[in-house]
Structure formats: structure tokens, C-alpha cells
Chain A
Amino acid sequence: MNFFNLSSPNKFQKFSKRIYPWVSYGSVMFLFIGLFFSFFKSPPDYLQGESVRIMYIHVPAAWLSLQIYVVMAICSFVSLVYKHSLADIISRSCAPIGATYTFITLITGSIWGKPTWGTWWVWDARLTSELILFFIYIGHMIVSNSYEDYRKGDKNAAILTLVGIVNLPIIKWSVDWWNTLHQPASIMKLDSPSIDSEMLTPLFFMAISFFLIFLSIMLTRISTEIIVRKIEIIKSNF
């Protein structure tokens, strides 16, 4: 199969219809495995107690909030340089999903913070930069839907996405650059992860599940956006 063929919106739509059931069923399957390991196999943390179970949804959501933005930034670059319509469609489809994962990260982090730090929120670098990421996602959605001509909206939203990419390294390394209440990285490190395998297993399954959930929602939204654009073309031709 030639993957370059998928750059055509119609061919991509056909391909997405074929893989959609696999992605959806896969996400549910990994979710149940992840939940089983999170509640039945994972022991409580010696310091944080049972609240450590929040990590199994907070961390994968945080990873995805960043990864989705990277996908959007690549698509925005391709859209601005090569004027590729599918890149705009992917970027537009990803923004609400990214916003949802960022919202989940902020809310679950806040709930986790209360029993661990004794507070719901602190204006520390990691939390503040993640909140800024949420506002960038919202900004992208507002800008891309603010114009009658969707091409103008896509172009301005792409510029906003590329400007906003400066926030990603700040989120990633904020815990190393500044003295923050948020703990430093314990999984995505150059040396081996510093958490136990009993906690790493549920995290791994939940991360796969969250990624497949993202993929399944993204495929649905891309398909919708392609149809909406076809309607626009038909309307403008008559």
C-alpha cells in the first residue's frame, strides 16, 4: 500500500472507514485491560497511597495533550508551505480532541494535587504552561471557525499553532528549568524509568487505549470535515 495515496481526502476517507472498527474495538479492549491493571494489580504508592491511581489517566492524557499538538503543528506547517487540504482538515479535527485531553490533564491533576500537595491549584510553571496550552487549543478552534471562508480560518489557525509550539518545550522541561511543586519526569527519561513495573504496566495499557481513542475520534472528525467541505463545494458550484 502506498501511503502517499492517503494524502487524497477521498482515499483517506476510504482507508479510515476500513481501520475505524479495529481502532475503536482496540481502544475499548486496551481500556479494560488498563483499568484491570490500574485497580486490581497496581499496589498503592508508599507515599501517595491510593491517590496514585489517578496517575494512570493523568499521565497518558498529558502525553496526548502534547502529542496531538505536535501533529497539529506538523499539519499546520504542511498546510502553510504546501497548501495541502488534508493537513488543514487533520489540524482542525485534532484541536477539540487536544483541548479535551488537556482539560482532562488539568482537572485530574488538580484532583490529584489536593490529597498530595494539599491544594487544588498552584501557579507553578508546569501547571501554568499546560493551562496556556489549553487556551491555545481553544484559540485554534475559535480562529478556525471565525471566518465564512474556511481557508482563511485554516490559514490563521495554522499560524497560531506554529507560534504556540514555543510552549511545548516549556511544558516538557519546566520541571527541570524551574523549582516547581510538580514532580520531575519519572517515565520519559533518558535512563530507565524510576517507577515500578507494577505501576508501569497499567500506565502502558492506558496510554495505548487513550491513543486509540484519540485516533478513533480523529478519524470520525476528519470524515465529517471532508463531507462538510464537499457540501461547501457543491453549494458554491450551483
Chain B
Amino acid sequence: MENFLTFLNSDKYITYVCSSYLICFFGLLFLKISSHIKEKKAIKEYTDIKKKYES
């Protein structure tokens, strides 16, 4: 806890550290979400196309 409090009081570094973590996690989150959306779209297209050609 002491280390965390020292970090919170470090005016000079807190912006650098927090911005790095935010950029990193938003980047990974964006990739994860966009990959999921792409997968869902592909599954939907596959089901539609399968139905279309089977009928």
C-alpha cells in the first residue's frame, strides 16, 4: 500500500505511467472487441449462406 501511495503522490510521473497503461489496455481491448465483432459477422454470414445454398 505504501508503494501505491508514493506512486499517487508522484506528480511528475503519474501522467506518464497512467497514459502508458491506458493506451496499452485500450489498444488490446479494441483488438479483442473488433476480433469478436468480426467473428460474429462471419458466423452470421456463414449461417445465412449455408441456408441460402441448401434451399
Is A228 on the interface with B (CB-CB < 8 A)?
yes
9 pairs, CB–CB < 8 Å, chain A vs chain B: A44-B10, A53-B7, A57-B20, A57-B24, A58-B20, A96-B31, A97-B31, A216-B32, A220-B35
Q: Which residues from B are CB-within-8-Å of A50? A: 6-7, 10, 12-14, 17
Bound-state Cα–Cα, A227 to B41, Å: 10
A-B pair count, CB < 8 Å, reads 97
Specify which of A111, A115, A221, A234 is in contact with B53 (CB 8 Å cutoff).
A234
Interface pair B27/A40, CB less than 8 Å apart:
no
The size class of the interface chain A forms with chain B is 35 or more
**Contact between A231 and B42, CB atoms less than 8 A apart:** yes
Cβ-defined contact, B46 with A230, below 8 A:
yes
Q: Does A217 contact B (CB under 8 A)?
A: yes
Q: Counting CB contacts under 8 A, is A103 at the interface?
A: yes
A231 surroundings in chain B (CB, below 8 A): 42, 45-46, 49
Classify chain B: how many residues form its interface, as a range: 20 to 34
Taken together as a complex, chains A and B put the C-alpha atoms of A103 and B27 apart, in Å, by 9
Interface residue A163 (Cβ < 8 Å from any Cβ of B)? no
A sample of 18 more A-B contacts (CB under 8 A), given A220-B39, A238-B53, is: A49-B10, A50-B10, A50-B17, A51-B16, A53-B7, A53-B17, A54-B17, A57-B21, A100-B28, A104-B27, A107-B23, A108-B23, A221-B35, A223-B39, A230-B46, A231-B42, A234-B49, A234-B50
- B residues engaging A (CB < 8 A)? 1, 3-4, 6-7, 10, 12-14, 16-17, 19-21, 23-24, 27-28, 31-32, 35-36, 38-39, 42-43, 45-46, 49-50, 53
Pairs A-B, 9 closest by C-beta atoms: A50-B13, A227-B42, A50-B10, A224-B39, A108-B20, A220-B35, A57-B24, A54-B20, A111-B20
Shortest CB distance A48–B (Å)? 9
Q: Which residues of A contact B (CB under 8 A)?
A: 39-44, 49-51, 53-54, 57-58, 61, 96-97, 100, 103-104, 107-108, 111-112, 114-115, 213, 216-217, 220-221, 223-224, 227-228, 230-231, 234-235, 238
C-alpha spacing A51/B17, complex, angstroms? 6
A223 to B38, CA, bound (A): 10
* Chain A residue at minimum C-beta to C-beta distance from B53: A238
Are A227 and B20 neighbours in the complex by a CB distance under 8 Å? no
In the complex, A103→B7 CA distance in Å? 26
Residue of chain A at shortest CB distance from B36: A220
In Å, the complex CA distance between A115 and B53 comes to 61
Q: Which residue of chain A lies nearest to B12 when distances are taken between CB atoms in the complex?
A: A115
B49 pairs with A235, CB closer than 8 A? yes
Chain A: which residue is nearest B44 at the CB level?
A227
Complex Cα spacing A234 to B3, Å: 59
Bound: A43/B21 CA distance, A? 17
Q: With A44-B10, A50-B6, A53-B7 given, is the CB distance from A112 to B20 under 8 Å?
A: yes
